[in-house]
Structure 1
Amino acid sequence: MVSDKGGRAGFVYLTRQSVYRALRRKGLTKTRAAEVSNAGRTRGQRSQMSRKAARTRQARGRKRH
């Protein structure tokens, strides 16, 4: 079980722990997996991040594959 205690034990939101575990299986460090899984706690926040990423890619002239 991933910790949701905080402090020295680390912290990952309870609703995002499945994402954390998936990222760990892919080989991310504990710290990086926690950062990614905690970012965008709600669906609205994740959606907002994805729209911003799309704008960034478009501004840099990248094509979607």
Structure 2
Amino acid sequence: MVSDRGGRWGFVYRSRQAAYRALRRKGASKEKAARISNGGRVFPQRSRMARKGWRTRRARGR
């Protein structure tokens, strides 16, 4: 299981640990995976991140 202990062991909310593991499988660093998964703790936060990603991709022509 991913740590939800905090401090030097890192911290990922228990409800977001599946997302953290998926990011790690895709090659994200522990720090980056934790930052992304913790950022989307509740649905409105995930929606906001998805919209931001869409705007970024559109602006870069992808």
TM-score, length basis structure 1: 0.77
- Superposed CA deviations along residues 36-58 of structure 1, whole A, max 9, x for unmatched, are 11112101111122233434555
The residue number in structure 2 matching 1:28 is 28
SS of 1:41's equivalent in the other structure is coil
Q: Give the alignment of 1:4-23 within 5 angstroms.
A: 4-23=4-23
Instruction: From the CA coordinates, give the structure whose radius of gyration is larger.
Output: 1
The residue number in structure 2 matching 1:50 is 50
Distance in 1 between residues matched to 2:3 and 2:19, nearest whole Å: 13
Identity %: 60
For residues 57 and 27 of structure 1, do their structure 2 counterparts lie closer, same or farther at Cα, with a shift above 3 Å needed?
closer
Q: Which structure's relative contact order is higher, taking Cα pairs within 8 Å and 6+ residues apart? A: 2
- Structure 1 stretches lacking a partner, 5+ long: none
Distance in 2 between residues matched to 1:36 and 1:8, nearest whole Å: 18
Q: Flag the structure with higher helix content.
A: 2
Q: How many residues align?
A: 62
